Amino acid sequence: MAKEKSEAKLLQEKLMTKKKNAGLLLEEKEIKKCDKFCEAYKKFLDCAKTEREAVAESIKLAEERGFVEYRADMPLKTGDKIYYNNRCKSVIFAIIGSEPIENGVHVAAAHIDSPRLDLKQCPLYEDNELALFKTHYYGGIKKYHWVAIPLALHGVIIKEDGSSVTVNIGEDENDPVFFISDLLPHLAQEQMKRNLSDAIKGEELNVIIGSRPFKDDDISEKVKLNIMSLLNEKYGIIEDDFISAELELVPAYKAKDIGFDRSMIGAYGHDDRVCAYTAFKALLDCEKVNKTALVVLADKEETGSDGNTGLRSAYLKYFISDIAKSLGAKGRLVISNSQCLSADVNAAFDPTFPDVLEKRNAAFFNYGVVVTKFTGSRGKSGTSDASAEFVGRIRNMLDKNNVIWQTGELGKVDMGGGGTVAAYLANLNFDVIDVGVPVLSMHAPFEVVSKIDVFMTYRAFNVFFSE
């Protein structure tokens, strides 16, 4: 006979928080559904390592599902699926809902840029018969992470005649890769006296790209000339074309399952393509929506969201105003009645480095999607800090739809912190809260997430759009 629960036990179950590892809550068939979802996500990661590639791949997938490019003053009706491509570096997808648009829209806003190394405008040089590229790192990185790993070169070159060349070298198994050297430990006594933040300096992130000389004794910089000859033969470019290029070095390895149980994914760019993909896929999978639903995949978050493709730009406001006008409403009114999930990652608790997170308020692997009321640093600097009413709305939405979720924050109060796009959306008068996936080794060239958390994040966005 089962033992009868005590009054205290019953009261505890009623009143106390009951968060559990989703691996204990989910049936095996549900866990397999998480794993299957993540196979498509891994493919997206491998073909969308830069913001330009993420825009191109997401538009391709959206067009396969009936989305068409939006034009100003295009007539719109319930069920229309549209997208707006902002300079090939950010994109908005929308499904027009059945409710009057003046009731507001539902927005999920993620970013598709990740920390990386950009080539300088005059990058190519020769030094002691090696050809190298000069770089400038993009976003918050630990510079020592980027040495002695295989790198791939992605981007676009605008030639002197205005034509465009797409570059993607290092991803195919038969491609060469590139490399930043480090000192051997036998000779690194002085280097190892440096502070960790200066173990590798910014101007030491020089990428080795060749070593064979052009066979002619009458010229200097023979190795550099040989590299330019190869580039000219393949792409038709000259050295001055680097001035009008956007070329990015990213890790050359593919997304991989992590662990004997294959419960995690290791890859470059989880921050923030894991939230970009889950939000985007959630919108694609909506058959119909009540409120008009938008997904914004933005650029420049890792450097402050400035520029005309970052979310401090007016393009989202203009887009909503344009579709509101097409539907007979005022854009200002639509935005003021709208709700937004700022789709961004949070730090997962790492048992190797427990001191930087306050355990009661940290996010954990396999505990589901993370709801983050505020970000910022120290005195909540740079955050929007969601209202109790909006937190209550999201909490209720997740609970009633059986989405496994948890709360989180980005480190102890005085430890540091960081921000997302939430504040810039709140400044437009959206109700906003951060929702996303917990990540280990965030901003490293190889980050790790839980497959269960990825799927629960997808489900959170899907029920948000479907309400």
pLDDT per residue as tens digits for the range 287-311: 889 999 999 999 999 999 999 999 9
List C-alpha distances in Å: 135 to 83, 123, 132, 171, 384.
Answer: 34, 7, 10, 20, 34
Q: Write out the H or E segment, with its range, that includes residue 346.
A: strand 346-347
Cα–Cα dist 239/84, whole Å: 34
| pTM for the predicted model, two decimal places | 0.95
Beta-carbon contacts of residue 233 (< 8 Å; ≥ 6 apart): none
pLDDT per residue as tens digits for the range 228-249: 999 999 999 999 999 999 999 9
Q: Please, are residues 253 and 268 in contact by the beta-carbon 8 Å criterion? A: yes
Beta-carbon contacts of residue 156 (< 8 Å; ≥ 6 apart): 52, 164, 165, 166, 167, 245, 246, 247
Cα–Cα dist 126/217, whole Å: 16
User: At what angle are helices 51-64 and 270-284 packed, to 10 degrees?
Assistant: 10
Alpha-carbon dihedral sign for residues 137, 159, 87, 47: negative
pLDDT averaged over 10-residue windows placed end to end, the chain, 467 residues = 77 81 93 97 97 98 97 93 97 97 96 97 96 97 97 97 96 96 95 94 97 87 95 96 97 97 97 96 94 97 95 96 95 95 95 93 96 87 90 96 94 84 92 96 97 98 95
Cα–Cα dist 96/76, whole Å: 8
Q: Are strands 68-69 and 81-86 parallel, antiparallel or unpaired?
A: parallel
Could you say which DSSP state residue 381 is in?
Answer: B
> For residue 302, is it left (φ>0), alpha (ψ between -120 and 50) or beta?
alpha
Quote the pLDDT of residue 464.
Answer: 97
